[in-house]
Amino acid sequence: MAPLLLQLVVLGAALAAAALVLISIVAFTTATKMPALHRHEEEKFFLNAKGQKETLPSIWDSPTKQLSVVVPSYNEEKRLPVMMDEALSYLEKRQKYGSDKVRVITLVKNRGKGGAIRMGIFSSRGEKILMADADGATKFPDVEKLEKGLNDLQPWPNQMAIACGSRAHLEKESIAQRSYFRTLLMYGFHFLVWFLCVKGIRDTQCGFKLFTREAASRTFSSLHVERWAFDVELLYIAQFFKIPIAEIAVNWTEIEGSKLVPFWSWLQMGKDLLFIRLRYLTGAWRLEQTRKMN
């Protein structure tokens, strides 16, 4: 009996190793060498209040504002207006942000959430850049918590630092409201994030993150993943470059209308996490110095 069990264990290990080698080969051969930073001609402009075209600025220009806010939006007709009303109301009370309020960048094709945010980041004017979800799940005044977290990280190496909003403190409450299956998926995803990519950040997926301008340009110019798992690669890149990261608890409320389909979305993100790790390990992806957009 013992020899048979030993043979089964050896066979199982051999099959697992073969599967890992095969997946690594697939990850390597299907990887794009560097992220495409091309901007279509129509994406180089925005319409001003007079309806005239103006050229968008670049992340590599000197900042002209203290804060830029990037909000990715796709079919968000119901949720976006509520979020924008709250954000603009708050920002108008902080007069130092001025009255040059909203610029809309219309993308020629769907680049995914990560791709849309990257295009917004690359067109930002702020010394600090906040990315925020269109659903308004995080209360916008919590940006003050992120600002404090960012300041607490000083001195910033090469002027780079990131403050991540976090819902980790709400985990017990969310478990009580979720099914056992969704709770299992959540824990599985968290384990994969920790095991494969990012250590020390309990909530990588909160869409409320504040960057110094230098940190935003360094991380987003190296980003490959443009879909839901882009946050994980973004923080993987930040940790590779030793950019200090603060994880800050924020107020968060689940808003109806999420485009995530629980099982399939988690499965896709799990595959993305594995491929992120394998592509960096095999050298299909390499982290380089910041590149300017063509």
Rounded Cα gap, residues 163 and 151, in angstroms: 9
CA distances for 213 relative to 26, 40, 106, 107, 280, angstroms? 35, 23, 22, 22, 25
Q: What is the pTM of this model?
A: 0.84
Q: What is the pLDDT along the chain (294 residues), one digit of tens a residue?
A: 567 666 566 666 666 666 656 665 655 566 666 656 778 888 899 888 788 899 999 999 999 999 999 999 998 888 999 999 999 889 888 765 444 678 999 999 888 899 999 999 999 999 999 999 998 889 999 999 999 999 999 999 999 999 999 988 877 666 445 566 667 777 888 898 999 999 999 999 899 999 999 999 999 999 998 887 899 999 999 999 999 999 999 988 877 766 666 667 777 888 889 999 999 988 889 887 544 444
What tens digit of pLDDT does each residue of 50-99 get?
888 999 999 999 999 999 999 999 988 889 999 999 998 898 887 654 44
Q: Residue 249: which H helix or E strand, with range?
A: strand 245-249
Name the CATH superfamily, with its identifier, for domain 55-282: Spore Coat Polysaccharide Biosynthesis Protein SpsA; Chain A (3.90.550.10)
Q: Residue 13: which H helix or E strand, with range?
A: helix 2-29
Rounded Cα gap, residues 52 and 37, in angstroms: 25
Q: Which of 211, 63, 69 lies closest to 140, judged by CA? A: 69
The strand pairing partners of 246, in sequence order, are 163
Using a 10 angstrom Cβ sphere, with 0-12 exposed, 13-18 middle and 19 or more buried, the burial of residue 224 is: buried
